[in-house]
């Protein structure tokens, strides 16, 4: 990641992979906890604490997404670019990123629509909300990166 418009596909991929990984880890830990023998109280206590610890990842995911966006915007300030490329960024790159993020949102919706992960998705409302609004997040982030990268003063 170097602070350009090309960071957006990387951010989209990281967010999709992170969201699916969080849901998968929660599912695995929950299944192990639910199928563990009740006679092992100490181990069951530790597993239940693990399930509650994985619930924190819902907030961490949002923090991670905002952090990636802020890092990309701040890094874009240090990239020297001619202002003519702003038009190309807005007309060509941002629509491609939005279409890609819409496909990633559809893939995530198909993932959480399965019978196995539909109940798991209810435990992570912020992650699901961000992933379902990923095209809007990418639009705002793309416009911010384009403005910061091409809008700074300093001459040509």
Q: Which of 1, 3, 58, 2 is nearest to 25 (CA)?
A: 58
51-94 tens-digit pLDDT: 788 888 999 999 999 999 999 999 888 887 777 777 887 888 88
pLDDT the model gives residue 154: 56
Cα separation, 144 vs 149, whole angstroms: 8
Unique residue bearing structure tokens 């009740």: 38
State the Cα–Cα distance between residues 129 and 114, nearest whole angstrom: 17
pLDDT of residue 84: 77
For 11, the token pair is 């951010």
The per-residue pLDDT for range 89-148, each reduced to its tens digit, is 788 888 999 999 999 999 999 999 998 888 899 989 999 999 999 999 999 999 898 888
- For Cα atoms 117, 122, 127, give the angle at the middle one, nearest 5 degrees: 90
Question: Do residues 81 and 8 touch, judged by C-beta distance below 8 A?
Answer: no
What tokens does 86 get? Answer: 């702003």
CB 1 within 8 A of CB 71: yes
The pLDDT of residue 1 is above 90: no
């Amino acid at each position: 990641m170097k602070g350009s418009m090309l960071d957006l596909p990387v951010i989209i991929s990281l967010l999709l992979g992170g969201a699916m990984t969080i849901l998968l880890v929660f599912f695995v830990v929950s299944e192990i906890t639910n199928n563990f023998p009740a006679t092992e109280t100490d181990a069951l206590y530790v597993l239940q604490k693990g399930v509650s610890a994985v619930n924190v990842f819902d907030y961490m995911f949002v923090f991670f997404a905002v952090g990636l966006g802020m890092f990309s915007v701040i890094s874009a300030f240090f990239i020297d670019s001619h202002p003519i490329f702003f038009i190309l960024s807005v007309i060509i790159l941002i629509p491609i990123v939005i279409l890609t993020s819409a496909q990633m949102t559809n893939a995530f919706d198909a993932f959480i629509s399965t019978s196995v992960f539909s109940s798991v998705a209810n435990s992570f409302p912020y992650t699901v909300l961000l992933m379902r609004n990923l095209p809007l997040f990418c639009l705002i982030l793309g416009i911010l990166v384009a403005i910061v990268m091409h809008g700074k003063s300093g001459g040509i």
